[in-house]
């Protein structure tokens, strides 16, 4: 059990999904679950893993996504639409 062992980005995503209960049975990567179990961060049946106390502490230490304001979200969406339109125009040329 090594609470400080480095986790890949994908393993961090898997740990977050377990923490938030967003794990549809069979949708989580088996190798991630196995490593998280080896590190003592999760336990329980394969179809319904749960966080251990160590896993909860590790989850709490992970960086959180930056929240966007409504204005920021609107700007991101506008930029994405502009990019998609430009891609379509280039393919037509």
pLDDT at 87: 76
* Per-residue pLDDT band at 25 (split at 50, 70, 90): low
| Tens-digit pLDDT profile for residues 40-83 | 999 998 788 999 999 999 999 988 766 656 666 677 777 788 88
SS3 content of the chain, % helix, strand, coil (to 5): 55, 5, 40
Q: How confident is the model at residue 31 (pLDDT cuts 50, 70, 90)?
A: very high
What is the rounded CA–CA span in Å between residue 78 and residue 64?
24
Q: Where are the domains of the chain?
A: 9-61
Contacts of residue 29, Cβ cutoff 8 Å, sequence gap at least 6: 10, 14
Check whether 1 has a pLDDT greater than 60: no
């Amino acid at each position: 059990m090594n609470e400080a062992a480095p986790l890949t980005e994908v393993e961090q995503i898997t740990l977050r999904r377990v923490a938030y209960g967003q794990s549809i049975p069979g949708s989580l990567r088996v190798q991630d679950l196995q490593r998280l179990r080896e590190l003592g961060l999760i336990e329980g049946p394969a179809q319904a893993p749960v966080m251990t106390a160590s896993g909860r502490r590790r989850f709490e230490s992970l960086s959180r996504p930056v929240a966007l304001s409504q204005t920021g979200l609107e700007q991101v969406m506008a930029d994405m639409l502009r990019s998609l339109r430009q891609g379509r125009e280039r393919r037509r040329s």
